[in-house]
Amino acid sequence: MLDLLAAGAEHAEPTAFGLQPGGFVALSMLVVIGIMLYAGVPKLIAKGLDAKIAGIRQQLDEATKLRAEAEALKVEYEAKAKQADAEIAELTQAAKRHAGEIVAKAKDDAEALVARHQAMAENKIAAAQRAAIEELRTKAADAATLAARQLIAAKHDEASDRKLVDQAISGL
């Protein structure tokens, strides 16, 4: 038999119902495909794919919606940032203005304090001058009284004193 195979003799393939092994495989595939078609497997596959497509579309719609919301939030926060910058600039300007007012008030208060101290010093000087003048007048009056007493004592004797006393008594 080996000689027959080696010599190129042909051998017969097994067949059943007139079909060779390849035909049985093809027939089996046709039966399986037929059962799948009868059971509605393509519809199930199409439904599954449609469901996946719908899910992907929904995810894409959600992603688009989220992107729009994110862009709106971005615009809102940019506007808030600009507003905050404007408020910061306004607060800074108000603080500078307030600081300038405080400095001006402090300067005015210092000038008023210096003026009050100067007026008080001038008043003290004037009071001291008046006191010195008053003291000088008192000393001058005392000196004049003393000098007048001495002159009167030197020019009046006992007789002129009696004459003055008598005139004073008669005038009463």
pLDDT at 155: 73
Q: Which residues of the chain have pLDDT under 50?
A: 1, 4
Domain annotation covers residue 131: yes
Angle, CA 163 vertex, CA 160 and CA 164 arms, to 5°: 90
Q: Residue 115 has what pLDDT? A: 92
Residue 24 tokens, joined: 């049985």
Q: Is residue 164 part of a domain?
A: no
Rounded CA separation 84/82 (Å): 5
- For residue 69, give Cα distances in angstroms to 33, 65, 143: 49, 6, 108
Q: pLDDT by residue (tens digit) across 100-114?
A: 999 999 999 999 999
Q: Is residue 167 part of a domain?
A: no
Answer yes or no: is 15 within a domain: no
Which pLDDT score, from 0 to 100, does residue 9 have? Answer: 59
Phi then psi for 16, rounded to 5 degrees? -140, 130
How many domains are there within the chain? Answer: 1
pLDDT in tens, 118-149: 999 999 999 999 999 999 999 888 888 888 88
Instruction: Count other Cβ atoms within 10 Å, centred on residue 3.
Output: 7
Asked whether residue 5 is domain-assigned, the answer is no
Residue 3: the pLDDT is 52
Tell me, what's the pLDDT at 11? Answer: 67
- What are the residues facing 16 on neighbouring strands? 19
CA-based torsion, 49, 51, 56, 60: positive or negative: positive
Look at residue 117 and tell me if it is in a domain. yes
Domain-embedded: residue 171? no
Q: What is the C-alpha separation between 53 and 46, in angstroms, rounded?
A: 10
Evaluate whether residue 50 is within a structural domain. yes
Domain coverage including residue 73: 27-152
Q: Are 19 and 26 in contact (CB under 8 A)?
A: no
Beta-ladder partners of 73: none
